[in-house]
Amino acid sequence: MYWFATGGPPRASRKDRTGIYHPQTGQPQIMLLSQLITPEAIVPSLKVNTKKQALQELSERAALVSGLPPREIFDTLLQRERLGSTGIGEGIAIPHGKLADAHAIFGIFARLPRPIDFEAIDGVPVDLICLLIAPESAGADHLKALACIARMLRDPKITAKLRAARDVTGLYAVLTGEPATHAA
């Protein structure tokens, strides 16, 4: 399983802790990647020719999953891309943004059968995209979710399995660490 939070039990006083806390008990909570990405949020074969098309298609999927307006999602992603590409290298991009109307952090994952130029840091065309949307109030949790996804996607064994998986079930199994008969 891929964990999102502190990586273990808190070691310091409450004010020094990082992670997600239960609103009533104040106890640390662990967030699984399966809480960020659902099977409905996986696109096993996104056929696009450009970065802009990819962001438009992923914004549409994010709107279906979240109920947020697709144009608002797309505009937020474009605004973030103007600051610098979210292509992190090795064929991977993690476009992300914060929206006032988002109620929770969520992700959309897509695999492209034909890699596209994403202006990535290493110049390698992108074939794996994990979009992340967070509420404006998410604060550090947004960054922790990004770090969790980036760590997972920087693992060559995982990216090889993602590139080999052929359907939503297989991709979801690889992303969440759950066993599946279709996972590569």
> Could you read off the pLDDT of 7-32 as tens digits, one per residue?
333 333 333 233 444 444 444 444 46
Strand 106-116 to strand 42-43: parallel, antiparallel, or no bridges (unpaired)?
parallel
Q: What pTM does this model have?
A: 0.80
Structure confidence at residue 53 (pLDDT)? 98
Catalytic residue of the set 22, 96, 142, 182? 96
Please state, in angstroms and rounded to a whole number, the distance separating the CA atoms of residues 169 and 180.
7
What's the confidence (pLDDT) of residue 32?
61
All domains of the chain, ordered by start, with CATH?
A: 32-176 (3.40.930.10)
* 96 is a catalytic site residue: yes
Residue positions counted in the chain: 184
Backbone phi and psi for residue 82, each to the nearest 5 degrees, phi listed first: -65, -25
Q: Consecutive sets of 10 residues in the chain, 184 residues long: mean pLDDT of each?
A: 36 34 45 80 97 98 96 97 95 96 95 97 97 92 89 93 95 82 45
